[in-house]
A = this chain, B = another copy of it.
Amino acid sequence: MILIKDVYVNGKRQDILIEGNKIKKIGEVKKDEVEDVEIIDGKKKIAIPGLINTHTHIPMTLFRGVADDLPLMEWLNNYIWPMEAKLNEKIVYWGTLLGCIEMIKSGTTTFNDMYFYLEGIAKAVDESGMRAVLAYGMIDLFDEERREKELKNAEKYIKYINELNNSRIIPALGPHAPYTCSKELLMKVNELAKKYNVMIHIHMNETLDEIKTVKEKTGMEPFVYLNSFGFFDNVNVIAAHCVHLTDEEIRIIKEKNINISHNPISNLKLASGISPIPKLLKEGINVTLGTDGCGSNNNLNLFEEIKITAILHKGVTLDPTVIKAETAFNFATKNGAKALNIKAGEIKEGYLADIVLINMDKPFLYPKENIMSHLVYAFNGFVDDVIIDGKIVMREGKILAVDEEKVYEKAEEMYEILRS
């Protein structure tokens, strides 16, 4: 049991009692009510639900800073793809650990990932103590042989993750995008999602170029095209990016309850554009936040996405009342949990104990007027204590489960291999 005493949570100072991997009680908890309990003094702290990052390629931490400020195809052809060709399970494992350390330090407790070598990713997630939804990224480039291989891999990884029997690690399906995956692959993905009861994680409408490609090929916008063969039927989908959308596509997103992963920093940095989030909100669509990979961000600090989301759309629409502080914060908590179908994203009795504590003695958090405003507009994202699934994974800024120094050293070593 863990007892967080006198912490500011849900609008007042109270205690939080954690038993197993769940929040047992919020309110006043006397020390003699509980036994075998670890007590955390919350007096100077606030508690928030751990953040949920709904679009990552986590091992790409190792590609951080490799190339910036370039046109997309130059970036992919000359830098990213040659390095990705050298990846292996071991490299991916260390890159994931580096990412987990960064996410834990910046208050993220769950991430939704699409990548390769999932054995390496799953091992790192397990050791770090984080919660993750992991999908193998499928690309068939409209080639039948490749399609069969990709689908086999995807199914293999669902089974692999299920067999780990770790409730913190959840399998998913990751068809890369409509411009890289055939209709046959996408139809099969819908079937597999229903068969294994897993969600689908896909890139949608990230750039004008790819939309043009899909339209030229199919005569339809990407969402219309996928909807035409039932891709969204009876499955749970997270669509990352959604930068450029027609009204008809927004109608489909609403009708099919598709979750959006908004990645404003990546979309700005790669010059993809700005997603019409205020429009999606008006339709009641579930918007969540993602950082994307470190090749295009270049960090995993979800608090940056919260702030940029809250300010960017004001500046673009010239309306200071769109996406208020709490709305942006909910994108990264409640809405993320809803999208991933996990009982998290809020600090409530019976919910998963994914809790982040922030010491308020920081100059940019004074005066202590409006905590929600401070979290969204003033905070730098670096938190003090992190509890995931009822276990303390960071205490006073120190990661407990993994050796930070060793991970940094190994990350450099892996990077040398990629660059050689």
A residues within 8 Å of B by Cβ? 61-62, 64-66, 68-72, 75, 98, 101-102, 105-106, 208, 265, 267-274, 294, 297-301, 304, 307-308, 310-312, 314-321, 324-325, 361, 363-364, 366-370, 373-374, 377-378, 380-382, 404-405, 407-408, 411-412, 414-415, 419
Contact = CB atoms under 8 A, between A and B. Distances in A.
A304 B377 CA distance: 11
Contacts of A298: 364, 373-374, 377-378
A61 B366 contact: yes
A307 B305 CA distance: 12
Given A364-B299, A366-B408, A369-B66, A314 B377 contact: no
A156 B151 CA distance: 77
A366 B208 CA distance: 32
A324 B273 CA distance: 17
B366 A98 contact: yes
Contacts of A407: 363
CB-based closest 4 A-B pairs: A268-B315, A367-B415, A65-B370, A65-B373
8 contacts: A61-B363, A64-B366, A65-B377, A68-B373, A274-B316, A294-B378, A298-B364, A369-B415
A227 to B, nearest CB: 27
Given A71-B320, A315-B274, A64 B369 contact: yes
Nearest to A264: B315
Contacts of A364: 64, 102, 298-301
Contacts of A366: 61, 64, 98, 408, 411-412, 415
Contact of A69 (B106, B272, B325): B325
Central interface residue in A361, A374, A378, by most chain B CB within 10 Å:
A378
Central interface residue in A62, A68, A308, by most chain B CB within 10 Å:
A68
Contacts of A315: 267-269, 271-274
A301 B380 contact: yes
A271 B320 contact: yes
A43 to B, nearest CB: 14
A126 B106 CA distance: 34
A384 B15 CA distance: 34
A411 B369 CA distance: 11
A102 B366 CA distance: 10
B271 A314 contact: yes
A67 to B, nearest CB: 8
A81 to B, nearest CB: 17
B415 A363 contact: no
Nearest to A382: B380
A407 B308 CA distance: 29
Given A64-B369, A311-B265, A317 B412 contact: no
Nearest to A360: B408
B271 A325 contact: no
B271 A378 contact: no
A274 B313 CA distance: 11
A354 to B, nearest CB: 20
B269 A64 contact: no
Nearest to A326: B69
A230 B375 CA distance: 45
Contacts of A299: 364, 377-378, 380
Contacts of A381: 380
Contact of A367 (B64, B68, B301): B64
A321 B69 contact: yes
Given A98-B363, A267-B315, A301-B380, A370 B66 contact: yes
Contact of A308 (B69, B98, B308, B404): B308
B311 A269 contact: yes
Contacts of A378: 64-65, 294, 297-299
